[in-house]
């Protein structure tokens, strides 16, 4: 394949977004519109990307640090042809130029490759789509031989042309030499007073070039974002596509319309995900996993046959096979749970290694800690890991039992099979096979009178 120069138009202000943020930096599935387009472009070999910015130019530039991406500015937004003109100095002489849009985020690599493959001697390619309601789009005008002759914008179209349902998406591919020659010939003699890139089609035809139309697999690929309503509609359409891919790979979803993925999610087979679950960043799930409703998983690895109960939050963690988490557990960054572990309701872990078969069943905080295998942590236990300046580690050996409502003040070590009596506050290490008791002595005061309410 010849080298490809990809020009991405991203200069629009996006007034209808009602936002200080440049339109192309608004997000779908946790990623900016422009990032989606760049990701699709990355699938094309031997390519360079030229992004034409305008409104919020510096903000857009600062959002992307890429060696294969050149940013050029369009100081005045005088139309799409004028925007492409800004990129001309950066085009390679014999490249094929593919023109994309920073606010059309869901175009697929397959469509882009089809566009490039259709470009050949005396032929350019244009992405078109048939819509039931073509309002606002430029119409594709064909001749008697059904060949594309021109594109007529909505405001310039006559009544017959307005009846056409095949419309222009704006995406086209052609040789750099042709683009260099034809762009200066475009004028702004139209209802908008702008330089339309669509005029390239009539110019190509006048030069004897054929225009090959390519159609996307779905109209969603070519839908643009002009306001927040359209942004939310594309979000849901994209999420449904992701949900369908996940289901086809062997995972059941209670309701695909209440599933959200913002990043990369890989999964084995025979998993079940209940409603309102969110997956962010890079998440991998094994097989036979059951995830209850309202769970949030970020940048984590989930092993096989794990049960994650409702309202559990997992972030930057590794969960071993057959672990049971939640409900209402919070697994914070740096947590590694071994096989057959249990972390129950209202338990929080942070930077904690929990060995195989260990249990932290309820109402506990375990942070900056290393637990061996077969450890039992009673309800209400906390590791006091922070002295106001530094963090300190708690180390607990195999088979240790920590009674309920215990306070473990780090740095602290409890050796194998140590036993901590309920209600203890520990400041010293506990030897192996020893019982640690640290409580005040109980007193019972006979004849004690309860307080009574004072009269006003």
Structural contact between residues 87 and 79, judged by C-beta atoms closer than 8 angstroms: no
DSSP assignment of 6-54: EEEEE----GGG--SS-GGGSEETTEEHHHHHHHHHTTSTTEEEEEEEB
- Cα angle 81-83-85, degrees, rounded to a multiple of 5: 70
CA 450 remoteness from chain centre: 59
**DSSP letter at 187?**
-
127 closest CA partner among 153, 107, 147? 107
Active site residue 26: no
Strand partners, 408: 383, 426
Alpha-carbon distance of 378 to 75, in angstroms, equals 65
Q: What is the largest CA-CA distance in the chain?
A: 110
386 closest CA partner among 431, 437, 351, 346? 351
Alpha-carbon distance of 43 to 352, in angstroms, equals 39
Q: Which residue among the candidates 26, 82, 362, 392 is catalytic per the annotation?
A: 362
Q: Which residues are marked as active site?
A: 362
């Amino acid at each position: 394949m010849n080298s490809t120069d990809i020009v991405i138009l991203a200069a629009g202000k996006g007034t209808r977004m009602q936002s200080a943020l440049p339109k192309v930096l608004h997000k779908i599935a946790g990623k900016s519109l422009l990032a989606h387009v760049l990701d699709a472009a990355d699938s094309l070999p031997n390519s360079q990307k030229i992004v034409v910015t305008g409104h919020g130019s510096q903000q857009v530039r600062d959002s992307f640090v890429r060696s294969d991406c050149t940013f050029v500015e369009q100081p005045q937004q005088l139309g799409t042809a004028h925007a492409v003109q800004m990129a001309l100095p950066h085009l390679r002489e014999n490249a094929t130029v593919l023109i994309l849009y920073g606010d059309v985020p869901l175009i697929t690599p397959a469509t882009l490759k089809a566009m490039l493959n259709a470009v050949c001697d005396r032929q350019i390619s244009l992405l078109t789509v048939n819509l039931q309601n073509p309002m606002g789009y430029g119409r594709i005008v064909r001749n008697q031989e059904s060949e594309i002759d021109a594109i007529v914008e909505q405001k310039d179209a006559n009544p017959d042309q307005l009846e056409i349902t095949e419309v222009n998406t704006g995406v086209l591919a052609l040789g750099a030499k042709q683009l260099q020659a034809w762009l200066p010939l475009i004028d702004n003699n139209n209802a908008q007073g702008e330089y339309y890139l669509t005029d390239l089609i009539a110019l190509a035809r006048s030069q004897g070039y054929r225009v090959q139309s390519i159609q996307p697999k779905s109209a969603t690929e070519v839908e643009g974002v002009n306001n927040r309503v359209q942004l939310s509609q594309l979000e849901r359409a994209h999420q449904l596509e992701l949900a369908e891919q996940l289901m086809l790979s062997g995972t059941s979803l209670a309701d695909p319309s209440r599933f959200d993925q913002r990043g990369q999610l890989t999964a084995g087979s025979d998993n079940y995900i209940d409603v309102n679950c969110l997956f962010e960043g890079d998440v991998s799930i094994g097989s036979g996993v059951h995830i209850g409703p309202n769970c949030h998983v970020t940048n984590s690895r989930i092993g096989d046959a794990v049960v994650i109960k409702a309202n559990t939050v997992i972030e930057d963690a590794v969960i071993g096979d057959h672990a049971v988490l939640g409900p209402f557990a919070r697994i914070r960054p740096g947590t590694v749970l071994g096989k057959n572990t249990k972390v129950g309701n209202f338990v929080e872990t942070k930077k904690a290694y929990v060995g195989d078969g260990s249990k932290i069943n309820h109402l506990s905080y375990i942070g900056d800690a290393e637990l061996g295998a077969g450890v039992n942590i009673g309800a209400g236990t906390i590791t006091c890991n922070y002295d106001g300046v530094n963090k300190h580690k708690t180390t607990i050996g195999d088979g240790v039992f920590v009674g309920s409502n215990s306070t473990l003040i780090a740095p602290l070590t409890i050796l194998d099979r140590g036993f901590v009596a309920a209600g203890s506050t520990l400041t010293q290490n506990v030897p192996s096979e020893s019982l640690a008791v640290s409580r005040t002595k109980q007193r019972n005061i006979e004849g004690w009178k309860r307080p009574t309410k004072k009269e006003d």
